[in-house]
Structure 1
Amino acid sequence: MPMFSFSNPKWVTQLLQYHADRHISEEEKIAAINSRLDKIISDKPLVSIVIPAYNEEANLLPCIDSLSHLQTDFPLEIIVANNNSTDRTQAILDRLHVTSVLETIQSVGAARQRGLLSAKGEYVFSADADCLYPVNYLSALMKHLAQPSVSCAFGRYAFWGDEVAPRWQYQLYEWLKWIPVELKNIKRPFLNAPGAAMAFKKAPALAIGYDTRRIVGEDGRMAFDLMKHGKIVYVRHSEAVAWTSARSLFRDGSVSSALIKRIKNYLRRLPEFFTALPDHDTKTSRND
C-alpha cells in the first residue's frame, strides 16, 4: 500500500522554503551545499548519481541540496549532463562541486547515456533535476541493488503540495494509481521504473545503452533490457521516493483530469499487465 501523507514531508517543506528565501543569496546557498558535498563526494566512487538537465536553473540547487544531505557510507559522485541548456544551468553547475558533462544530442535518453558513459561507479543512480531526495534514498535502493541476482532497483515519485493543489489531492491520486501499478509489477515491472527514481548496475547498462531518440520511456526501455541480466525490484519504502512538483501532471489540466486520463489508459491496457512483453529491440520499437 502506498504511503499515507496528506501533507508535505517536513524536510521537503523546509528545503523549498529555504530556496525560496530571497534574503539568502545564491552564493550562500551554493557555499552551504558545496560544504556538504565535499564530505560525501569521492574521486573513487562506488555509486554514480546521474542527472540530465535541460534549462533547470530553477530546480538544480534544491535538487543538489537534497542530495548533499544523503546519509551514506557509499563513496559517490554526482554527474549532471547538460543537454544544451540555454539558461543559467551551466553557470550554476560551474560553481557546484559536481561533475558536469555536455550532451549535444537533444533527448533525455542521450543525456542519461552521456552521464552513464562518464560514470566511474559500479552502481548508477538515475535521478531528475526537478526532484528532491530523502536522506536515506541511496541506502534504501542499494539494500536491494547490491544483491547479486538484482540488476535494477527502483522506487517511485510523489508530488508535493503547492499553491495549485494541496498535498491531500496528490495523495488521493497516488492511492488510486496503486492498484494498476501493482498489477503492472506482476509481469511488466519495467513499466513502473521511473528515470527519476531508479538505480542499476553499470556493467550491463553500458552493454545495453539508453535509447537516445526523442521518445518517451527511455527509462522503462533500459529497465526492460536489464531484466535479461537479473531481477528488477520495486522498492516500496518511503525512503525510496523522489519528491517532485506536479508540473508534468498539469499538462492534462488538473489532478482529476490527469487521473481520468490515466484510468482510461490503464483500463485499455489492463489485459497486457497479465502477460510478459515479448523480447524486442527497444532501440527501434515505438510507443503505442
Structure 2
Amino acid sequence: MRISVVIPAHNEEAYLPRALGAVAAQTLKPLEVIVVDNASTDRTREVAEAHGARVVLCARKGVAFARQAGLLAARGEWVAMTDADSLPTERWLERLTARAGGAVALYGPLRFYGVSPFEATLSEQGYRAFLNLMALLGRPNLAGANMMLLKEAALWVGGFPEVEAREDVLLGWRLRRLGPVRYVPEALVLTSARRLQGGWGPFLLRQVRNLLGDPRGYFGEGGERER
C-alpha cells in the first residue's frame, strides 16, 4: 500500500519535531510525509523541511482547509492523518494497514500525554468506550489525530466539509455510504493534553455533541448538506 501521512500545522514549531520523529519511527514506512503549513507565522515550515517532510502551503486558516489541502496533495492511494501535537505509536501504520481490506477509512483510539498517569489511563479507556459505543450506533467517530482514508473515496464524497470543527467526524459519516469505516483498537496515538485547556467539562461536552450527531455540522459555511 502506498500511504501518505498528512500533518496539518498552524504555528507548531514546538510540537512538530516529536510528531515527525514518531512518524519516522514507524515499522511500516510511508511513501511520503506532508506537513500542511496552515498560515503559520513561526518556523513551522523550516522545521518540517529540516525533518524531511514535504511542505504544502495553505493560506486559508482553518484545520478543515488544511486537511483538504493535504488530501489533495497526497500521492498515496491511502492518506493517514495525525496532528502536529500527536505521537503515533510505532506500529500505528502497520496496524491500520492490516485492517484496511475492503474499508474506505480506518481510525483508532487516543491517549493524552502530559497529564498524570491516572488521567492518561482514564482518557484512553474512556475514549475507547466512547468509540465502541459510536461504532455500535453506526456513527464512526474519525479523529484527525488518528485516521486513514482511501483517497479516492474521500474525494468522491467531497473531502472535508468546510466547517469550523468536526470536519473529521462529518467526513467519516459521509464515507460510510461507500463502504466500511473501521475502528482499529490496536492503532493507538498519543495526543497532547492541550485539548483540555478549557477543562474536562468542555472537552466531554464536545464528545457528547458527536454522540448526539447534531446535523447542523453539515450546514457550516461552504459545507454540504448530508444526503
**So what's the TM-score if we normalise by structure 1?**
0.69
Could you say which structure has the higher helix fraction? Answer: 1
State the shift of 1:52 in Å: 0.4
Partner of 1:63: 19
Query: How far off its partner does 1:103 sit?
Result: 0.4
The 5 A counterparts of 1:89-104 are 89-104=44-59
Deviation at 1:94, TM superposition (A): 2.9
Give the 5 Å matches for 1:141-152. Answer: 141-145=96-100, 147-148=101-102, 150-152=103-105
The one-letter amino acid paired with 2:55 is S
- Quickly say closer, same or farther: Cα 1:135–1:264, change in 2 above 3 A: closer
Question: Which residue pairs with 2:196 in the alignment?
Answer: 249
Do 1:189 and 1:234's aligned partners in 2 also have CA atoms closer than 8 Å? no
1:152 deviation in Å?
Answer: 0.6
Match of 1:159 among 93, 98, 112: 112
Matched, 1:229 2:178: yes
Question: Quick one: which of 65, 70, 73 aligns to 1:118?
Answer: 73
Residues 186 and 61 of structure 1: CA distance in aligned 2, closer, same or farther (over 3 Å)? same
- Report the Cα distance in structure 2 between the residues aligned to 1:131 and 1:264, rounded to whole angstroms: 19
**RMSD after superposition:** 2.6
Aligned residue in 1 for 2:94: 139
Q: Relative to 1, partners in 2 of residues 1:263 and 1:205: Cα closer, same or farther, differing over 3 Å? A: closer
1:259: Cα distance to partner?
5.2
Gaps of 5+ in 2: none
Amino acid corresponding to residue 100 of structure 1 in structure 2:
V
Spell out the pairing of 1:44-55 with structure 2 (5 A cutoff). Answer: 46-55=2-11
Runs of at least 5 residues in structure 1 that lack an aligned partner in the other structure: 1-44, 253-257
Deviation of residue 265 (structure 1)?
6.8
The 5-angstrom pairing of residues 267-278 of structure 1 reads 272=212
Q: Equivalent residue for 1:187?
A: 137
CA contact (8 A) 2:109 2:124 kept: no
> SS state of the match for residue 79, structure 1?
strand
Question: Aligned letter for 2:198?
Answer: R
Per-residue deviation, 1:181: 3.3
CA deviation vs aligned residue, 1:154-181 (integer Å, no higher than 9, x gap): 0021012x3xx41212312443444443
Report the count of equivalent residues. Answer: 220
How many Å apart are 1:82 and its aligned residue? 0.3
Q: Please say which structure displays the higher CA radius of gyration.
A: 1
* Aligned-pair CA distance for 1:281: 7.0
